[in-house]
Structure 1
Amino acid sequence: MKALVINCTLKPSPDPSNTEALARVVVEALEKDGVGVDVVRAVDLDIAPGVTSEAVREGDAWPGVHDRLLEAEILVVASPTWLGRPSSVAQRVLERMDAMMSETDGQGRPVAYNRVAGVVVTGNEDGAHHVISEISGGLEDIGYTIPGQAWTYWHLGPGPGPDYLDEERGREWSHSTGRAMAANLYGVARALAERPLGAPPG
Protein backbone atom coordinates (compact mmCIF):
# COMPACT_ATOMS: atom_id res chain seq x y z
CA MET A 1 0.00 0.00 0.00
CA LYS A 2 1.21 3.51 -0.82
CA ALA A 3 0.61 6.93 0.67
CA LEU A 4 1.31 10.40 -0.67
CA VAL A 5 1.82 13.40 1.59
CA ILE A 6 1.51 16.78 -0.14
CA ASN A 7 3.11 19.42 2.07
CA CYS A 8 1.55 22.79 1.22
CA THR A 9 3.96 24.95 3.20
CA LEU A 10 4.92 28.30 1.69
CA LYS A 11 8.59 27.62 2.50
CA PRO A 12 10.73 26.22 -0.33
CA SER A 13 13.33 23.54 0.39
CA PRO A 14 15.64 23.38 2.22
CA ASP A 15 13.92 25.73 4.70
CA PRO A 16 12.59 23.85 7.74
CA SER A 17 8.83 23.26 7.52
CA ASN A 18 6.75 23.07 10.70
CA THR A 19 3.98 21.44 8.70
CA GLU A 20 6.26 18.73 7.36
CA ALA A 21 7.66 18.10 10.85
CA LEU A 22 4.19 17.28 12.22
CA ALA A 23 3.27 15.33 9.09
CA ARG A 24 6.37 13.21 9.73
CA VAL A 25 4.63 11.75 12.81
CA VAL A 26 1.86 10.45 10.54
CA VAL A 27 4.41 9.23 7.99
CA GLU A 28 6.31 7.24 10.61
CA ALA A 29 3.11 5.64 11.91
CA LEU A 30 2.08 4.63 8.39
CA GLU A 31 5.52 3.23 7.67
CA LYS A 32 5.28 1.05 10.80
CA ASP A 33 2.22 -0.54 9.16
CA GLY A 34 4.28 -1.26 6.05
CA VAL A 35 2.93 1.62 3.94
CA GLY A 36 5.35 3.14 1.46
CA VAL A 37 5.18 6.92 1.86
CA ASP A 38 6.10 9.57 -0.70
CA VAL A 39 6.36 13.22 0.43
CA VAL A 40 6.00 16.14 -1.98
CA ARG A 41 6.67 19.77 -1.07
CA ALA A 42 4.36 21.41 -3.59
CA VAL A 43 5.95 24.86 -3.42
CA ASP A 44 9.18 23.38 -4.82
CA LEU A 45 7.34 22.46 -8.02
CA ASP A 46 6.11 24.65 -10.84
CA ILE A 47 2.40 23.93 -10.47
CA ALA A 48 0.45 26.17 -12.80
CA PRO A 49 -3.03 27.44 -11.93
CA GLY A 50 -5.84 25.52 -13.58
CA VAL A 51 -8.42 22.78 -13.19
CA THR A 52 -7.00 20.12 -15.48
CA SER A 53 -4.76 17.12 -14.91
CA GLU A 54 -2.82 17.81 -18.09
CA ALA A 55 -0.04 20.38 -18.31
CA VAL A 56 -1.41 23.86 -18.92
CA ARG A 57 1.96 25.26 -19.97
CA GLU A 58 5.49 24.08 -20.66
CA GLY A 59 7.16 22.99 -17.44
CA ASP A 60 3.92 22.52 -15.50
CA ALA A 61 4.75 19.89 -12.87
CA TRP A 62 1.17 18.93 -12.01
CA PRO A 63 0.89 15.88 -14.33
CA GLY A 64 3.67 14.19 -12.33
CA VAL A 65 1.86 14.90 -9.05
CA HIS A 66 -1.36 13.57 -10.58
CA ASP A 67 0.42 10.32 -11.45
CA ARG A 68 1.61 10.00 -7.86
CA LEU A 69 -1.93 10.60 -6.59
CA LEU A 70 -3.16 7.69 -8.70
CA GLU A 71 -0.41 5.45 -7.33
CA ALA A 72 -1.42 6.09 -3.70
CA GLU A 73 -4.32 4.60 -1.76
CA ILE A 74 -3.76 7.13 1.06
CA LEU A 75 -3.44 10.90 0.68
CA VAL A 76 -2.45 13.39 3.36
CA VAL A 77 -2.71 17.09 2.59
CA ALA A 78 -0.64 19.09 5.07
CA SER A 79 -1.09 22.86 5.29
CA PRO A 80 -0.15 25.74 7.52
CA THR A 81 -2.83 28.20 8.57
CA TRP A 82 -2.58 31.71 7.17
CA LEU A 83 -5.27 34.29 7.98
CA GLY A 84 -7.29 31.42 9.43
CA ARG A 85 -7.40 29.60 6.10
CA PRO A 86 -5.47 26.91 4.17
CA SER A 87 -2.35 28.13 2.43
CA SER A 88 -2.53 29.38 -1.14
CA VAL A 89 -0.45 26.36 -2.11
CA ALA A 90 -3.09 24.02 -0.66
CA GLN A 91 -5.78 25.85 -2.60
CA ARG A 92 -3.82 25.47 -5.82
CA VAL A 93 -3.40 21.73 -5.19
CA LEU A 94 -7.13 21.29 -4.60
CA GLU A 95 -7.98 23.30 -7.72
CA ARG A 96 -5.79 21.05 -9.86
CA MET A 97 -7.30 17.97 -8.20
CA ASP A 98 -10.75 19.23 -9.21
CA ALA A 99 -10.18 17.63 -12.61
CA MET A 100 -10.20 14.21 -10.97
CA MET A 101 -13.96 14.53 -10.42
CA SER A 102 -14.52 13.81 -14.12
CA GLU A 103 -11.88 11.09 -14.45
CA THR A 104 -12.94 7.45 -14.12
CA ASP A 105 -11.22 4.09 -13.88
CA GLY A 106 -11.88 1.03 -16.02
CA GLN A 107 -15.02 0.22 -14.03
CA GLY A 108 -16.59 3.65 -14.37
CA ARG A 109 -15.70 4.80 -10.87
CA PRO A 110 -14.27 8.26 -10.16
CA VAL A 111 -10.51 7.78 -9.83
CA ALA A 112 -10.51 9.01 -6.22
CA TYR A 113 -12.96 6.28 -5.18
CA ASN A 114 -11.51 3.65 -2.85
CA ARG A 115 -8.80 6.05 -1.74
CA VAL A 116 -8.70 7.68 1.67
CA ALA A 117 -7.48 11.12 2.72
CA GLY A 118 -6.64 13.11 5.82
CA VAL A 119 -5.33 16.52 6.82
CA VAL A 120 -2.43 17.87 8.90
CA VAL A 121 -2.45 21.54 9.98
CA THR A 122 0.04 23.74 11.82
CA GLY A 123 0.07 27.42 12.73
CA ASN A 124 0.67 29.85 15.56
CA GLU A 125 -2.89 31.15 15.35
CA ASP A 126 -6.33 29.58 15.67
CA GLY A 127 -8.39 28.23 12.79
CA ALA A 128 -7.24 24.60 12.56
CA HIS A 129 -10.73 23.11 12.42
CA HIS A 130 -11.71 25.55 9.68
CA VAL A 131 -8.67 24.55 7.62
CA ILE A 132 -9.39 20.86 8.20
CA SER A 133 -13.03 21.25 7.14
CA GLU A 134 -12.16 23.22 3.99
CA ILE A 135 -9.55 20.71 2.80
CA SER A 136 -11.56 17.64 3.85
CA GLY A 137 -14.68 18.98 2.15
CA GLY A 138 -12.80 19.49 -1.10
CA LEU A 139 -11.24 16.03 -0.98
CA GLU A 140 -14.63 14.46 -0.28
CA ASP A 141 -16.12 16.27 -3.28
CA ILE A 142 -13.35 14.84 -5.44
CA GLY A 143 -14.28 11.34 -4.28
CA TYR A 144 -11.93 10.50 -1.44
CA THR A 145 -13.21 8.70 1.63
CA ILE A 146 -12.49 10.65 4.82
CA PRO A 147 -12.31 8.32 7.83
CA GLY A 148 -13.34 9.49 11.27
CA GLN A 149 -10.60 11.53 12.97
CA ALA A 150 -8.39 11.60 9.92
CA TRP A 151 -6.59 14.75 10.98
CA THR A 152 -4.15 16.21 13.44
CA TYR A 153 -3.07 19.76 14.11
CA TRP A 154 -0.83 21.89 16.27
CA HIS A 155 -1.95 25.40 17.25
CA LEU A 156 -1.37 27.30 20.47
CA GLY A 157 -4.52 29.40 20.22
CA PRO A 158 -5.41 32.89 19.06
CA GLY A 159 -2.83 35.47 18.17
CA PRO A 160 0.81 35.23 17.12
CA GLY A 161 3.19 32.90 18.89
CA PRO A 162 6.01 30.40 18.45
CA ASP A 163 6.15 27.82 15.67
CA TYR A 164 5.74 24.07 16.11
CA LEU A 165 9.48 23.46 15.78
CA ASP A 166 10.19 26.08 18.47
CA GLU A 167 7.65 24.96 21.08
CA GLU A 168 7.13 21.71 23.00
CA ARG A 169 3.67 22.59 24.36
CA GLY A 170 0.86 20.66 22.72
CA ARG A 171 3.10 18.26 20.86
CA GLU A 172 2.12 15.17 22.84
CA TRP A 173 -1.56 15.62 21.93
CA SER A 174 -0.75 16.41 18.29
CA HIS A 175 1.48 13.36 18.02
CA SER A 176 -1.00 10.92 19.59
CA THR A 177 -3.75 12.35 17.38
CA GLY A 178 -1.46 11.97 14.37
CA ARG A 179 -0.83 8.32 15.18
CA ALA A 180 -4.58 7.75 15.54
CA MET A 181 -5.07 9.49 12.19
CA ALA A 182 -2.56 7.15 10.55
CA ALA A 183 -4.26 4.08 12.06
CA ASN A 184 -7.68 5.20 10.83
CA LEU A 185 -6.42 6.00 7.34
CA TYR A 186 -4.70 2.63 7.07
CA GLY A 187 -7.66 0.70 8.49
CA VAL A 188 -10.20 2.25 6.13
CA ALA A 189 -7.84 1.94 3.15
CA ARG A 190 -7.51 -1.79 3.88
CA ALA A 191 -11.29 -2.15 4.21
CA LEU A 192 -11.84 -0.44 0.86
CA ALA A 193 -9.18 -2.64 -0.77
CA GLU A 194 -11.04 -5.73 0.45
CA ARG A 195 -14.53 -4.43 -0.40
CA PRO A 196 -14.19 -1.59 -2.92
CA LEU A 197 -16.93 0.85 -3.75
CA GLY A 198 -18.62 0.32 -7.09
CA ALA A 199 -19.43 2.92 -9.69
CA PRO A 200 -22.12 5.38 -8.58
CA PRO A 201 -25.65 4.52 -9.77
CA GLY A 202 -26.61 6.10 -13.08
Structure 2
Amino acid sequence: MHATCLVCTLKRSPEPSNAESLAEVVLGALRKEGVTTDTIRLADHRIDPGVVSEAVSDGDEWPAIRERILAAEILIVATPTWLGQPSSVSKRALERMDAFISETKEDGETPIAYDRVAGVVVVGNEDGAHHVISEVNGALNDIGYTLPGQNWTYWNKGPGPGDEEWLTTEEKDWSTSTGEACAKNLLRTVRAVQP
Protein backbone atom coordinates (compact mmCIF):
# COMPACT_ATOMS: atom_id res chain seq x y z
CA MET A 1 0.00 0.00 0.00
CA HIS A 2 1.32 3.44 -0.92
CA ALA A 3 0.25 7.02 -0.12
CA THR A 4 1.24 10.19 -1.97
CA CYS A 5 0.81 13.61 -0.40
CA LEU A 6 0.55 16.75 -2.53
CA VAL A 7 1.82 19.59 -0.35
CA CYS A 8 0.20 22.71 -1.76
CA THR A 9 1.99 25.37 0.26
CA LEU A 10 3.04 28.53 -1.58
CA LYS A 11 6.52 28.13 -0.05
CA ARG A 12 9.39 26.51 -1.91
CA SER A 13 11.80 24.12 -0.18
CA PRO A 14 13.57 24.32 2.20
CA GLU A 15 11.24 26.89 3.79
CA PRO A 16 9.21 25.26 6.58
CA SER A 17 5.60 24.45 5.69
CA ASN A 18 2.80 24.13 8.24
CA ALA A 19 0.74 22.18 5.69
CA GLU A 20 3.56 19.67 5.24
CA SER A 21 4.11 19.41 8.99
CA LEU A 22 0.46 18.60 9.74
CA ALA A 23 0.31 16.21 6.76
CA GLU A 24 3.23 14.38 8.33
CA VAL A 25 0.93 13.46 11.26
CA VAL A 26 -1.32 11.58 8.82
CA LEU A 27 1.59 10.10 6.86
CA GLY A 28 3.36 9.01 10.04
CA ALA A 29 0.24 7.19 11.23
CA LEU A 30 -0.02 5.45 7.84
CA ARG A 31 3.64 4.40 7.96
CA LYS A 32 3.04 2.79 11.37
CA GLU A 33 0.53 0.56 9.57
CA GLY A 34 3.05 -0.45 6.89
CA VAL A 35 2.07 2.08 4.21
CA THR A 36 4.93 3.58 2.19
CA THR A 37 4.69 7.32 1.61
CA ASP A 38 5.78 9.94 -0.89
CA THR A 39 5.57 13.72 -0.47
CA ILE A 40 5.58 16.18 -3.37
CA ARG A 41 5.88 19.89 -2.59
CA LEU A 42 4.22 21.24 -5.71
CA ALA A 43 5.72 24.75 -5.42
CA ASP A 44 9.12 23.16 -6.14
CA HIS A 45 7.90 22.06 -9.57
CA ARG A 46 6.74 23.72 -12.75
CA ILE A 47 3.11 22.83 -13.37
CA ASP A 48 1.60 24.56 -16.38
CA PRO A 49 -2.08 25.54 -16.38
CA GLY A 50 -4.34 23.10 -18.16
CA VAL A 51 -6.71 20.17 -17.82
CA VAL A 52 -4.64 17.51 -19.60
CA SER A 53 -2.28 14.78 -18.40
CA GLU A 54 0.41 15.30 -21.02
CA ALA A 55 2.90 18.16 -20.84
CA VAL A 56 1.40 21.47 -21.90
CA SER A 57 4.81 22.84 -22.92
CA ASP A 58 8.49 21.98 -22.65
CA GLY A 59 9.47 21.91 -18.98
CA ASP A 60 5.99 21.13 -17.64
CA GLU A 61 6.60 18.63 -14.84
CA TRP A 62 2.99 17.50 -14.42
CA PRO A 63 3.33 14.15 -16.29
CA ALA A 64 5.95 12.90 -13.78
CA ILE A 65 3.86 14.14 -10.84
CA ARG A 66 0.81 12.43 -12.32
CA GLU A 67 2.70 9.13 -12.39
CA ARG A 68 3.55 9.48 -8.69
CA ILE A 69 -0.10 10.22 -7.89
CA LEU A 70 -1.28 7.16 -9.80
CA ALA A 71 1.34 4.97 -8.10
CA ALA A 72 -0.59 5.49 -4.85
CA GLU A 73 -3.77 3.93 -3.53
CA ILE A 74 -4.08 6.83 -1.06
CA LEU A 75 -3.85 10.51 -2.01
CA ILE A 76 -3.60 13.32 0.52
CA VAL A 77 -3.94 16.97 -0.47
CA ALA A 78 -2.38 19.30 2.12
CA THR A 79 -3.17 22.97 1.60
CA PRO A 80 -3.09 26.26 3.45
CA THR A 81 -6.13 28.51 3.57
CA TRP A 82 -5.87 31.85 1.79
CA LEU A 83 -8.87 34.20 1.80
CA GLY A 84 -10.94 31.26 2.98
CA GLN A 85 -9.99 29.27 -0.14
CA PRO A 86 -7.65 26.37 -0.98
CA SER A 87 -4.28 27.60 -2.22
CA SER A 88 -3.78 28.42 -5.88
CA VAL A 89 -1.24 25.59 -5.98
CA SER A 90 -3.88 23.04 -4.92
CA LYS A 91 -6.30 24.38 -7.52
CA ARG A 92 -3.67 24.05 -10.25
CA ALA A 93 -3.14 20.38 -9.33
CA LEU A 94 -6.87 19.64 -9.19
CA GLU A 95 -7.35 21.30 -12.59
CA ARG A 96 -4.70 19.03 -14.07
CA MET A 97 -6.33 16.02 -12.37
CA ASP A 98 -9.55 16.90 -14.21
CA ALA A 99 -8.10 14.80 -17.04
CA PHE A 100 -8.50 11.70 -14.83
CA ILE A 101 -12.26 11.90 -15.33
CA SER A 102 -11.96 10.73 -18.94
CA GLU A 103 -9.04 8.32 -18.42
CA THR A 104 -9.48 4.63 -17.69
CA LYS A 105 -7.50 1.77 -16.21
CA GLU A 106 -6.07 -0.98 -18.42
CA ASP A 107 -9.50 -2.60 -18.82
CA GLY A 108 -10.59 0.45 -20.84
CA GLU A 109 -13.72 0.89 -18.70
CA THR A 110 -12.88 1.63 -15.07
CA PRO A 111 -12.12 5.33 -14.41
CA ILE A 112 -8.47 5.74 -13.46
CA ALA A 113 -9.08 7.16 -9.97
CA TYR A 114 -11.57 4.48 -8.93
CA ASP A 115 -10.55 2.07 -6.15
CA ARG A 116 -8.39 4.82 -4.62
CA VAL A 117 -9.10 6.96 -1.56
CA ALA A 118 -8.24 10.55 -0.72
CA GLY A 119 -7.94 12.82 2.29
CA VAL A 120 -7.38 16.51 3.02
CA VAL A 121 -5.14 18.42 5.44
CA VAL A 122 -5.71 22.16 5.96
CA VAL A 123 -3.82 24.81 7.92
CA GLY A 124 -4.19 28.56 8.12
CA ASN A 125 -4.14 31.69 10.18
CA GLU A 126 -7.78 32.35 9.35
CA ASP A 127 -11.11 30.60 9.57
CA GLY A 128 -12.36 28.59 6.60
CA ALA A 129 -10.93 25.10 7.05
CA HIS A 130 -14.30 23.37 6.62
CA HIS A 131 -14.92 25.32 3.43
CA VAL A 132 -11.49 24.37 2.07
CA ILE A 133 -12.06 20.69 2.99
CA SER A 134 -15.41 20.79 1.16
CA GLU A 135 -13.89 22.42 -1.93
CA VAL A 136 -11.05 19.91 -2.22
CA ASN A 137 -13.23 16.90 -1.37
CA GLY A 138 -15.81 17.98 -3.94
CA ALA A 139 -13.16 18.02 -6.66
CA LEU A 140 -11.63 14.70 -5.57
CA ASN A 141 -15.08 13.10 -5.58
CA ASP A 142 -15.73 14.35 -9.13
CA ILE A 143 -12.38 12.92 -10.21
CA GLY A 144 -13.41 9.51 -8.86
CA TYR A 145 -11.70 9.09 -5.49
CA THR A 146 -13.53 7.39 -2.64
CA LEU A 147 -13.78 9.69 0.36
CA PRO A 148 -14.21 8.08 3.77
CA GLY A 149 -15.99 9.89 6.56
CA GLN A 150 -13.65 12.21 8.47
CA ASN A 151 -10.96 11.98 5.83
CA TRP A 152 -9.40 15.23 7.02
CA THR A 153 -7.65 17.14 9.75
CA TYR A 154 -7.02 20.83 10.11
CA TRP A 155 -5.56 23.55 12.26
CA ASN A 156 -6.44 27.18 12.04
CA LYS A 157 -5.84 30.16 14.28
CA GLY A 158 -9.41 31.39 13.93
CA PRO A 159 -10.96 34.48 12.39
CA GLY A 160 -8.71 37.33 11.42
CA PRO A 161 -5.12 37.71 10.29
CA GLY A 162 -2.08 36.54 12.20
CA ASP A 163 0.86 34.21 12.22
CA GLU A 164 0.48 30.54 11.39
CA GLU A 165 1.29 28.90 14.69
CA TRP A 166 0.85 25.17 14.05
CA LEU A 167 4.48 24.32 14.84
CA THR A 168 4.59 26.32 18.10
CA THR A 169 1.04 26.32 19.42
CA GLU A 170 0.08 24.37 22.51
CA GLU A 171 -3.36 23.82 20.99
CA LYS A 172 -2.54 21.07 18.53
CA ASP A 173 -3.73 17.93 20.32
CA TRP A 174 -7.06 17.93 18.50
CA SER A 175 -5.44 18.38 15.08
CA THR A 176 -3.02 15.56 15.85
CA SER A 177 -5.65 13.09 17.09
CA THR A 178 -7.92 13.98 14.17
CA GLY A 179 -5.03 13.41 11.76
CA GLU A 180 -4.39 9.98 13.24
CA ALA A 181 -8.10 9.15 12.93
CA CYS A 182 -8.01 10.38 9.32
CA ALA A 183 -5.18 7.94 8.58
CA LYS A 184 -7.13 5.02 10.09
CA ASN A 185 -10.23 5.91 8.08
CA LEU A 186 -8.24 6.19 4.85
CA LEU A 187 -6.56 2.84 5.44
CA ARG A 188 -9.75 0.98 6.36
CA THR A 189 -11.53 2.37 3.32
CA VAL A 190 -8.78 1.68 0.82
CA ARG A 191 -8.62 -1.93 2.01
CA ALA A 192 -12.37 -2.19 1.42
CA VAL A 193 -12.37 -0.72 -2.09
CA GLN A 194 -9.26 -2.43 -3.47
CA PRO A 195 -10.27 -5.13 -5.98
User: TM-score by structure 1 length?
Assistant: 0.94
Secondary structure class of the residue paired with 1:164 = coil
Query: How far apart are 1:165 and its partner, in Å?
Result: 3.9
Distance 1:45 1:32, change over 3 A: same
Amino acid paired to 2:28? E
Match of 1:79 in 2: 79
User: For residues 179 and 167 of structure 2, what CA distance do their matches in structure 1 show?
Assistant: 19
What RMSD in Å do the two structures reach over aligned CA positions? 0.9
Amino acid paired to 2:41? R
Query: How far apart are 1:192 and its partner, in Å?
Result: 1.1
User: For residues 9 and 72 of structure 1, what CA distance do their matches in structure 2 show?
Assistant: 21
Is contact 1:154-1:164 (8 Å) kept?
no
Query: How far apart are 1:166 and its partner, in Å?
Result: 4.7
Which aligned runs of 4 or more in structure 1 are off by greater than 6 angstroms?
Answer: none
Query: How far apart are 1:167 and its partner, in Å?
Result: 3.3
Is contact 1:154-1:170 (8 Å) kept?
no
Secondary structure class of the residue paired with 2:39 = strand
User: For residues 9 and 22 of structure 1, what CA distance do their matches in structure 2 show?
Assistant: 12
Is contact 1:47-1:60 (8 Å) kept?
yes
User: For residues 76 and 167 of structure 2, what CA distance do their matches in structure 1 show?
Assistant: 23
Match of 1:22 in 2: 22
Is contact 1:126-1:159 (8 Å) kept?
yes
Matching of residue 101 in structure 1 with residue 101 in structure 2: yes
Match of 1:200 in 2: none
Match of 2:70 in 1: 70
User: For residues 12 and 84 of structure 1, what CA distance do their matches in structure 2 show?
Assistant: 21
Match of 1:11 in 2: 11
Match of 1:199 in 2: none
Match of 1:142 in 2: 143
User: For residues 93 and 169 of structure 1, what CA distance do their matches in structure 2 show?
Assistant: 32
What's the CA shift string for 1:8-61, capped at 9, x where partnerless? Answer: 000000000011010010010000010000000001000000000000000100
* Structure 1 spans left out of the alignment, 5+ residues: 197-202
Query: How far apart are 1:156 and its partner, in Å?
Result: 1.9
User: For residues 168 and 43 of structure 1, what CA distance do their matches in structure 2 show?
Assistant: 25
Amino acid paired to 2:143? I
User: For residues 166 and 187 of structure 1, what CA distance do their matches in structure 2 show?
Assistant: 29
Is contact 1:122-1:164 (8 Å) kept?
no
User: For residues 166 and 106 of structure 2, what CA distance do their matches in structure 1 show?
Assistant: 44
What's the CA shift string for 1:143-200, capped at 9, x where partnerless? Answer: 000000000000121012231345323310000000000000011011112xx3xxxx
User: For residues 165 and 20 of structure 2, what CA distance do their matches in structure 1 show?
Assistant: 10
Amino acid paired to 1:164? E
Is contact 2:153-2:178 (8 Å) kept?
yes
Match of 2:36 in 1: 36
* Structure 2 spans left out of the alignment, 5+ residues: none
What's the CA shift string for 1:79-127, capped at 9, x where partnerless? Answer: 0000000000000000000000000012311000000000000001000
Give percent identity, aligned residues only.
Answer: 60
Matching of residue 180 in structure 1 with residue 189 in structure 2: no
Is contact 2:18-2:167 (8 Å) kept?
no
Match of 1:119 in 2: 120
Secondary structure class of the residue paired with 2:63 = helix
User: TM-score by structure 2 length?
Assistant: 0.97
User: For residues 27 and 164 of structure 1, what CA distance do their matches in structure 2 show?
Assistant: 20
Amino acid paired to 1:180? A
Aligned length: 194
